[in-house]
Copies of this chain bind each other. A is one copy, B any other.
Amino acid sequence: MIELDAEQQQARDWFERLRDRICASFESIEREAASEAKFDYLEWFRDDDASGNSGGGVRGVMKGKVFEKVGVNVSTVGGAFAPEFAPSIHGAGENPNFFATGISLVAHMSNPHVPAVHMNCRFLVTTKRWFGGGADLNPALPKNEDTADFHAAMERACAASPTGDYPRFKQWAEDYFWLPHRKVHRGVGGIFYDHMEGDFDANFALTRALGEAFLDSYPMIVRRRMATPFTEAEEQALLEWRGRYAEFNLVYDRGTSFGLKTGGNIDAILMSLPPRATWS
């Protein structure tokens, strides 16, 4: 068992409440589409293994009519980074002990006109304490209106906290969600930030504002597009686009590589992969 201090507990509780609200919101979209789909939850533990790591999480997955596959993980873990990884982690170079709590979400949508989305936020403690987070929109068939609405929501999130910096976080997302081998962005961007340390209250407010902005914007975009008719060619474009998404996550995504190489929960780490994809 991990003992949480007051900040760790606040962060974890908020991530879990955010998960509940997101899942309820997505299930209500399914009901509007005359589907009974609900999230299935699977709890996993990683208790007191040889490295002294412990904790666990809950993997939630819904396979519905509008949401072809959406996964939401919350996890709270602690222990010590392996010696070969510790130096690459902020504040863990001299002392490998860590605590991490976070939420991550990826939604792959049935209708090629509805963008896929990714959202993730986390609170990390080593010899430093910081928040990281981000959200990016991933349409196979981009629409200016959706992109503008999503970016505006992320800009409002940044404005909600003195430590928010929209231009910098937007650029960070553009730099990060990039496939160098194809010289294309993974999607139409959003925000990304990391190592937000110092003022816990301000950075927690930033992270909460990201979660609220996600809830304000993404369900609205889904509802706007979910009934749009689509052709076979548009569905094929979606499946090709998902191939690019899988390439990004397997080749470049730091969280995925880190998880695979440190023996994390495979199903949780690879939850982001698309339910169907093609490489023509």
Q: Which residues of A contact B (CB under 8 A)?
A: 69, 180-182, 239, 243, 246-247, 250-251, 257, 260-261, 263, 266, 269-270, 273-280
| Alpha-carbon distance A263/B183, docked complex (angstroms) | 10
CB-CB under 8 A from A270, the residues of chain B are 247, 279
Q: Which residues of B contact A275 (CB under 8 A)?
A: 278-280
- Within the complex, which residue of B181, B250, B257 is in contact with A246, where a contact is CB–CB below 8 Å? B250
In whole angstroms, how far apart are the Cα atoms of A266 and B278 in the complex? 15
Interface pairs (21), CB distance under 8 Å? A69-B280, A180-B260, A181-B260, A181-B261, A181-B263, A181-B269, A239-B276, A243-B273, A246-B250, A246-B279, A247-B250, A247-B270, A250-B251, A251-B251, A251-B260, A273-B279, A276-B277, A276-B278, A277-B277, A277-B278, A277-B279
Question: What's the nearest-Cβ distance from chain B to residue A104, in Å?
Answer: 16
CA distance A257 to B261 in the complex (A): 16
Apart from A180-B260, A181-B266, A250-B250: 11 A-B pairs, beta carbons within 8 A: A69-B280, A181-B261, A181-B269, A243-B273, A246-B246, A270-B279, A273-B279, A275-B280, A276-B278, A277-B277, A277-B278
List of B residues within 8 angstroms of A273 by Cβ: 243, 279
Question: Which residues does chain B contribute within 8 Å of A276, judged by CB atoms?
Answer: 239, 276-278
Q: How far is the CA of A80 from the CA of B70 in the complex (A)?
A: 46
Closest Cβ of chain B: how far from A39's Cβ, in Å? 15
Q: A182 vs B263: C-alpha distance in the bound complex, in angstroms?
A: 9
Across the two chains, which residue of chain B brings its CB closest to A250?
B250
In the bound complex, residues from chain B placing their C-beta under 8 Å from that of A239 are 276
